[in-house]
Structure 1
Amino acid sequence: MLAGDLNEPGQIAVWHRRGALRFSIAIVIMLTAEIVTLTISFAALVTLLSAAIVGYAAFRALTYLGLAERRWSLLLWPLATCSTLGVLHMASSDIGTLLPGLIVLAFQFIGITQPPGTGLLFILPASALLLHLTDMSSRDAVIRLPLAILVWLVVSEVPSRLLGELRDKQRALELLATTDPLTGLLNRSRLEAHLEMAGDSSAVAVIDLDHFKEFNDTQGHISGDRALADFSGVLQSMTRAGDAAFRYGGDEFLVIFPRTTPAEAAEILDRCAEMWDGHGSGLTFSAGIAEGGDDAVRAADGLLYEAKRGGRERVLTVERSLARQA
């Protein structure tokens, strides 16, 4: 089973559960091997029970310390499996020779959950564990140990690198699906989600470049596209880290300002107008800003058209509209 993006909320917790399950299965395999080979002893039972208690206590400690959401914390489970195997071999000396495959499974879990190169850090301790389990001669070690290391690297590094490439491509596809290619702003596919996330304590601005159609017809589409891209760059530079800027239509833009009043958002767009100042194209913009909520976009759109009717090149909020009418 492939790992999801471990940067997403909750994914590390999911893989802790899977790691704990793998560790439990490994303990069952060790116990079964003891029973089948008729080598089970009180010392072996105590070892396996203690390993289970220590493994889960370590996880609880990581959780208590707030470290269980760190990606490296998932290394607990392969380390617990290999440590248990090594201690069990001391308690029941014959059993370890049957179960070196558990080391391979530990490296596989490392490859699925950790960045490339992590498996390399465990080659030396794993080699020492294998020598401890198999008690191989120097002549055998020359052949068997390099082969074992090769297998460990394949099962850890190949999945890790492939999954990394897969996640990079997935993020690129998500970016392509949610971003306007000309302006680099968000497209409308994520608009509803952002509006819902921002809630009522936000401001929503709908912005339109004045006389853009005439500019596009007379100057050409290349100049029009350049003006759109230039304006988007200015808009992005003026908005804050938590704001979300969208290309709403052909020459229309929409910005969501979380935890911001319409008056505060208007000040930001006023500064944006000063910085834009035509930007070589001679174009100006008009904007309507409304308070967040279910009708925010429609209300902002209405204020935008009021700004257009009032002469363009202005930013309107409800308060500014009332002041103009007074």
Structure 2
Amino acid sequence: MPAWLQIGGHAAACGRMLLVFCAVVILLTMPFLGLPPRMLLVLAAVVGTLLLGAAASFLIRWRHRSLVSMVFPLLVLVSLAAMGLGTEHAAGAYVGLIPLCFVYLGLFHPGRIALGLVPVALVAYTAMVPLFDPRAWVRMVIYGLIWWGIAQVLALTTAYQRDVHSRLRRDARTDALTALGNRRDLEEQLSAVQAGDTLVVIDLDHFKTVNDTLGHSAGDAVLTGFGHLLDQHLRRRDYAARYGGEEFVLVLPRTEAVQAMNMLRALRTEWAEVSTGVTFSAGIATICPGVPPGTALAAADVALYRAKAAGRDRFRIATDHRGPNREPLDASR
């Protein structure tokens, strides 16, 4: 679909296609029904109504998309009912358009919404097929159940696919060990940071020693525990990701470097109570106007290695983000 057709989202775009498709089907087939001019005018009016509805949908403010998109199948059903009232028996040729409304409902609405539209569809069917006998009433019941069944099956299938897609997307962007964001997710977060946000790069000190002496399972337990502590300690607006190995990156929106320093001090105190002697070092960089996030992240990484060179278990603020003549801050002093 071209972008202009997708105004309002996929439900709106497919709703327009539903209206246009029904209008085209009626327009192309009505010359073969052998109708008098008066009835042809009724069909032409229905076609015009459907096309006008599709055009008018571009003017709607799609704030409540799920509710407003109900207009599309409802307009089709009302138009078919009007056709049945205005053309006597000829409208029966277009009964096959009714199930398309429930296909649309199943794709974009819960099954209970489709159930509410079944009476409207049955009224349209009654208007389109005016000759009734006992078998006709049975057909109406069967058709109503089939229409709702179509919508229900599609609604359940669509909900399942959305759930699977959501879980796959979440798994693809989540570190399996720590349940924090992974590097791919971090890159997306970094693309949205703004000036005034602060980046923190954290590295667990002497982590390789833990793996070498206690085994990788112990190392995994340390990483899991630290990731859990980060998740519990940070504010809702903050973000944490495992950058790789024993490195973590924090994105702290609207946070000054000194505030980040205080947060790390509190985190170190809590970590010391639950860890087995593993400390961590960190580098801090606040994003300045006009500075790319990658540059700030690199500055935080440089500050981290300065902290490690100074003895580990300490934090440093990137000097490039504080001015050339200012000394780096050290939280351990």
Could you list the runs of 4 or more consecutive aligned residues of structure 1 that deviate by over 6 angstroms after TM superposition? none
- Measure, in 2, the Cα distance between the counterparts of 1:122 and 1:209: 60
Aligned-residue CA RMSD (Å): 2.6
Matched, 1:23 2:16: no
Do the aligned residues in 2 keep the contact of 1:206 with 1:254 (CA within 8 Å)?
A: yes
Cα deviation digits, residues 277-305 of structure 1 (max 9, x gap)? 24142322111011233312221111111
**Shift in CA distance, 16/54, structure 1 to aligned 2, threshold 3 Å:** closer
TM superposition shift of 1:264: 2.7
Deviation at 1:48, TM superposition (A): 4.1
Q: Give 1:1-326 correspondences, 5 Å limit.
A: 12-39=8-35, 40-41=37-38, 42-50=41-49, 52-53=51-52, 56-57=55-56, 59=57, 62-63=60-61, 66-67=62-63, 70-292=65-287, 293=292, 294-318=294-318, 321-323=327-329
- Normalised by the length of structure 2, the TM-score is 0.83
For structure 2, the 5+ residue unaligned runs are none
Moved more, 275-284 or 167-176: 275-284
CA apart distance, 1:88? 1.9
Whichever residue aligns with residue 316 of structure 2, its letter is L
- Give the conservation status (yes or no) of the 8 Å contact 2:19–2:53: no
Cα deviation for residue 141 of structure 1 reads 2.7
The percentage of counterpart residues that share the same residue type is 29
Contact residue 248 and residue 254 of structure 1 kept, 8 A: yes
The count of corresponding residues between Structure 1 and Structure 2 is 312
Deviations 1:46-105 (A, max 9, x none): 454345445644x35641xx53x5223222111111111111222222232111111101
Deviations along 1:247-290, whole A, 9 cap, x unmatched?
11221111122333323322322222233224142322111011
Which consecutive unaligned segments of at least 5 residues does structure 1 have? Answer: 2-9
The 3-state SS of whatever aligns with 1:100 is helix
Do the aligned partners of residues 322 and 200 (structure 1) sit closer, same or farther apart at CA in structure 2, a change above 3 Å counting? same
Give the counterpart letter for 2:66 in structure 1: R
CA distance in 2, matches of 1:311, 1:168: 48
Larger mean Cα displacement after TM superposition, 97-106 or 303-312:
303-312
Deviations 1:103-127 (A, max 9, x none): 1011111111223433222222222
TM-score, structure 1 normalization? 0.85
